[in-house]
Structures are given as C-alpha cells and as structure tokens.
Amino acid sequence: MQIENLSRKLIIERSLAKSIVVIAPDLKSCFDISNLYAPEHLMLQINASENYIEWVRNAGSVFWGAWTPGAVGDCASGTNHVLPTVCACVYSGMGVETFMKSITFQQLTLEGLFEIGSVVALHWKASLLISDR
C-alpha cells in the first residue's frame, strides 16, 4: 500500500482507525448528512454536480467536478485551511476578502430618489428620528 512509503504513516493509520464509511439511501440523504457534519472540504464527484450546489448549506469550501481537487483550495485558488466546520458552520470561511476593506458607493438619479424617497421618509418617521429626515 502507498501508506508504507509515506512519512506520516503513523498519523494516517491513526486517522484511518477512527474513520467510518457512511452509506446513504439516496443523493438527497448524502447532502443532508453532509450539511449536519459541515465538512471543511466538500468534494462533489457526481454527474452534473453543478445542479446540486443549492443543496449545500454547511461546508467550509466546496469543490465540484472531476478537475477540482481540494488541494487546489488549500494553496492556490483563494480559500485556505481557516474554514468553519461543525458548530461554526454558521460563519463564512476566511479568504482574501477577510483582509480587504470594503466601501459601499451609492449614487441616485432624481427619478431614483423619488422612487425610494417615500420608503426613507416612512423609515425615519417610524424610528422617530425627525432630525435625520
């Protein structure tokens, strides 16, 4: 086996000893289980995998298609190993954007201001911040 020639043989053996295989009755169940587990890397090696992206709710980073290995995400395609799993799955993974400053720019036309103005006025009236109107 390949494991015999690897420098991390002991680590791999311990990991495999604690591993399990999960067999699900159908594809939807596979996604349900995955969403509960919230894996760091989710590899979708299924036909037409792009059609199932919407089924993914909890995963650090998703790789789909035969030419998208998880190793690419570790060091080259933008994601890294700081990915939320299990209970942290409600947060986003850390990426380049985490360290970038974001500024929102807005510009309305006169017509746009008339369209949205009543919503703004209603908001400020409801919040009782009269001076901000």
Question: Domains (ranges, CATH) in the chain?
Answer: 24-98 (3.40.50.1980)
Tell me how far apart the alpha carbons of residues 94 and 40 are, in angstroms, rounded to a whole number: 12
Tell me how far apart the alpha carbons of residues 126 and 55 are, in angstroms, rounded to a whole number: 39
- What pTM did the predictor assign? 0.61
What does the buried/exposed string (b/e) look like for 54-85 if buried means 16 or more CB atoms within 10 Å of the residue's CB? Answer: eeeebbbbbbbeeebeeeebeeeeebbeebbe
Q: In the structure, what pLDDT confidence band is assigned to residue 35 with cuts at 50, 70 and 90?
A: very high
Residues tagged active-site:
40-41
* pLDDT tens-digit series, residues 63-118: 888 888 877 876 666 665 666 666 776 677 777 777 776 665 677 788 888 888 88
Say if residues 62 and 53 touch (Cβ distance below 8 Å): yes
Local structure of 86: helix, strand or coil = helix
